[in-house]
Structure 1
Amino acid sequence: MNSMIWNIDYFCNLRCKSCNAWQANIMFPDELVDKHIEEMKKNGIKVVSLTGGEPTLNRSVETILKKLKENHFITHIATNGTNPYVLNKIYRYLDGMSISIDSNIPEEHNEYRGGKIFDTVVKTIKESKKHVKILTMNTLVTNFNYFKIKDMAEFANNELGVPISMCFPEQSAYYFQDFQVTNEMIREAFSYAYENYNKHVFGNTRSYYKEAVDYIDGKKVTACRAGERALYTDYRGKVHPCFTHMEVVMNKKPQWEKFENSCNDCFTQCFREPSMDNKLEDARLLTKIWWYNHVKGKSSAKKEPLDNGNFGNKGPVTN
C-alpha cells in the first residue's frame, strides 16, 4: 500500500536534542487541506501518517483526520504523547499511532526531550491502547540508548504492553548538534533487534533490522522506493519523494510527477521499510502488534507509571 508522511506543522513544545522544530511556528495551510486529500486519492495513496513537529499542536488536526477517514484512508499519527487533551478528541479517526520514548530511564528521556514529560507519555501510551488498532513505542537510536535495546524492549513490552519500533538516526532527517551517534552504535542496536527478534515484541519487520545492519556494513540492500511506495508532504504543501530529495517537487500538477529512484544515500525507516514490500511479513507484523496491544499486552503491562514527572506548563518534535 502506498503511504504518505504528511507534515502538518513545523512547531513543537519540546526541545529534543535531535530536532529544531521548536524554533518555528508554521502550520500546514488550511486552504490546501481539501486539495491535498483529493490529490492523494487520485495518486494512489492509501495510508497517511501525520507528523510534525508535534502534529497535535496543529489546531486543524481533528478536521484533517476526520476528512481523511471520510475519504477512506488508513490513518496514523506520530506524536510525542504530551497532548492527551487533543488525542482524546482524535482517537475516533485513528487506526494507528507511534508514541516516542527514547529511554526507559525517566531522567534520560526528559533530558533528551527538554521537559519533564516521561510520566505523561507513559500514561498516554496506556490510554491510547484502548482506542487505536495499532500502537507502538517508537525509539530513535541515540548515543545513550543504543547499548540497551534489550532494556527498552522489556520496558515497552512488560511495563507498557506495546511493541517497540526503532528509527534509524539519519543525518537527513535529524539534527545532531548536541550528541553524536556513530555507525558502530547504530549497528549494535539493530543487530540486537535482529538477533533477538523472537525474544521481544518489536514494531518493525525483522527484515528491516537485518537490512539496517547490512546497510551499515556496505552490503547490498533492497532498493529504496521513496517517491513511489512512500512519499513526503512538507508543511507548506509540497510533495517530495522523501526527506533526502527535498529538491524534487512532485505535485506541480494534480497528477503528480513520477520519481525514478536510484538513491541509496540513507536508511530512513519511513521510506526504507515500505520499500521491502514483503506482504506476508507485513501482515504477520500487523497481526502481532494488534494481538499484543489488545490481548497479550493487557495482561503484561503494569498499571503504575515509573516516576512522578509531569508536563508542567511547557505546553505541547515527535517521532
Structure 2
Amino acid sequence: MRLIHHPVLCNYYVTYRCNASCNFCDIWEKPSPYVTIETVTQNLNDLKKLGVKVIDFTGGEPLLHRQIDQLLALAKERKFITTLTTNGLLYPKYAQRLKGKVDMLHFSLDSPEKEEHDSGRGVACFDQVMESIQIARSLGERPDILFTVFEHNVHQIEKVWGNICLPNGLVLILNPVFEYKGVETGKSLSAQTLETLLYWSKQKQVYLNEAFISLRQDGGNHIANPVCKAASSTIVISPENKLLLPCYHLGIDQIAIDGNLFDLYHSESVQKLIALEGRLPACEGCVINCYMQPSFAVEMNKYFWKALPSTLKYNYLKGTWKQLF
C-alpha cells in the first residue's frame, strides 16, 4: 500500500568533480560544471512545492563548490532537512561557514588504519577526517562516521566504533557497498557478513537500515514485483541542471529543467519514465542504498517495517525526527 504519493528526497549533485578517486566509485571520472545559486534557488522552490523533505547536497565532493554554505542556507531557509557527506579534506577550511547548516553531516571513513583508508580513497585523507571530527565537535556540530562496508573491512567495524565513534559521541552509519554499471567493488557481501551487520545494527550509536539486509537476502529488487520507487520517491538533479531519470545510476534520460522543475516533474513524458521505476531489465537485483531507503519509506510492505525501527533510532539520535512530520 502506497503511503506517500510525492517525492521525499532530492539527491542534488552540486558537481561531479572530486578531490579523491575512490576505487568503488566512478563519479569523479566525469567532467563537470558547478551548480549556480540561481538555478538552485529556483529548484528548491519547486522541490518545496513537490513535497520534498530532505535535500542531500552530494557529488563528487560537495565541498569543492565554493558556495556550498550558501546553498545549504537556501535549503534551511525553506525548512528542508539537509545532509552532506564529505571525505574531510576541505571540511577544516569551511567548517565555520557550514556551522548549523547541515542536519546530517557525514565524514567518510572506511578503516581505522590510515594507510588502508587512504588507499581505498586514492588520496591521503585519514588525518583530515580525524581533524574534522575535532573541529566539528568544537563548533557544537554532531557529525556521523559513514563506513562503507566491504567483505575486506567488515572486521574493522568494531575498532572504528570503539576507538573513534564512542569516544567522540558520533553515530556510526554502516553503508553496505553496492554494485552498479560494472563498477568494481570487490566480492559481494556474504551471508555471514550480512548477519554480522545485523548484529551491529543493534548496538548503541550505530545506524544500519535493516531493510538493506533483508533486501539483499531476498536477491534485491525484482522487476516482476518491484520494491524500488526511486523515481517517484527521489528527485535527482545533475550539475548541468537536468532531471535524471529514473535514477542517477541508471540514467536513461536527462531532461533540461530550464527553471520549471515543478511542471516538468508532472509532465506526461516524465511520468511515463517514473512508471518504469524498478521494472527495467537493469533494475533486476538492484540494491542501491540511496534509492532503496526512500523507497522503503513511501510504501507499506515488509521492508517498511524492517526499516522503521532503525530509521526512528537514527532520527532520534540526530534530533531530526520532528522534522519528518
The two structures have a TM-score, normalised by structure 2, of 0.76
**Which amino acid is the alignment partner of residue 182 of structure 1?**
K
Which stretch has the larger CA shift, 83-92 or 241-250? 241-250
2:15–2:35 CA contact under 8 A, matched in 1: no
1:215–1:221 CA contact under 8 A, matched in 2: no
For 2:238 and 2:74, locate their aligned partners in 1 and report how far apart those are by CA, in whole Å: 19
- After superposition, the C-alpha distances for 1:244-268 in whole angstroms (9 at most, x for unaligned) are 3311346755320331223443111
**Which amino acid is the alignment partner of residue 5 of structure 1?**
N
Shift of 1:21: 4.3
Change (3 A) 1:267 1:118: same
Shift of 1:290: 4.9
Match of 1:267 among 287, 297, 312: 287
Shift of 1:223: 0.9
Shift of 1:143: 4.5
Match of 2:149 among 133, 141, 152: 141
Structure 2 residue 168 is the aligned partner of structure 1 residue 163:
no
Structure 2 residue 18 is the aligned partner of structure 1 residue 12:
yes
Shift of 1:148: 3.5
**Which amino acid is the alignment partner of residue 229 of structure 1?**
S
Change (3 A) 1:74 1:290: closer
Structure 2 residue 252 is the aligned partner of structure 1 residue 243:
no
- The residue number in structure 2 matching 1:314 is none
Query: What pairs up with 1:197-236 in 2 under 5 angstroms?
Result: 197-215=201-219, 223-236=227-240
How large is the RMSD of aligned CA atoms in angstroms? 3.0
1:214–1:221 CA contact under 8 A, matched in 2: no
Give the total of aligned pairs.
Answer: 286
Change (3 A) 1:143 1:212: same
Shift of 1:190: 3.1
- The residue number in structure 1 matching 2:301 is none
- The residue number in structure 1 matching 2:77 is 70
Unaligned 5+ segments in structure 2 are 1-6, 298-303, 321-325
Could you tell me the percent identity over the aligned residues?
Answer: 20
**Which amino acid is the alignment partner of residue 213 of structure 1?**
Q
- The residue number in structure 2 matching 1:89 is 97
For 2:229 and 2:146, locate their aligned partners in 1 and report how far apart those are by CA, in whole Å: 23
Match of 1:28 among 9, 28, 34: 34
1:136–1:162 CA contact under 8 A, matched in 2: yes
- The residue number in structure 1 matching 2:116 is 108
- The residue number in structure 2 matching 1:2 is 8
For 1:74 and 1:123, locate their aligned partners in 2 and report how far apart those are by CA, in whole Å: 25
1:76–1:96 CA contact under 8 A, matched in 2: yes
The two structures have a TM-score, normalised by structure 1, of 0.78
Shift of 1:288: 3.0
Give the secondary-structure state (helix, strand or coil) at the position aligned to 2:231. Answer: coil
Shift of 1:193: 1.5
Change (3 A) 1:284 1:112: closer
Change (3 A) 1:58 1:33: same
Unaligned 5+ segments in structure 1 are 292-319
Shift of 1:189: 3.4
**Which amino acid is the alignment partner of residue 238 of structure 1?**
K
1:226–1:272 CA contact under 8 A, matched in 2: yes
For 2:294 and 2:76, locate their aligned partners in 1 and report how far apart those are by CA, in whole Å: 22
**Which amino acid is the alignment partner of residue 186 of structure 2?**
V
Shift of 1:66: 1.4
Match of 1:283 among 312, 318, 321: 312
Shift of 1:71: 1.7
For 1:239 and 1:89, locate their aligned partners in 2 and report how far apart those are by CA, in whole Å: 29
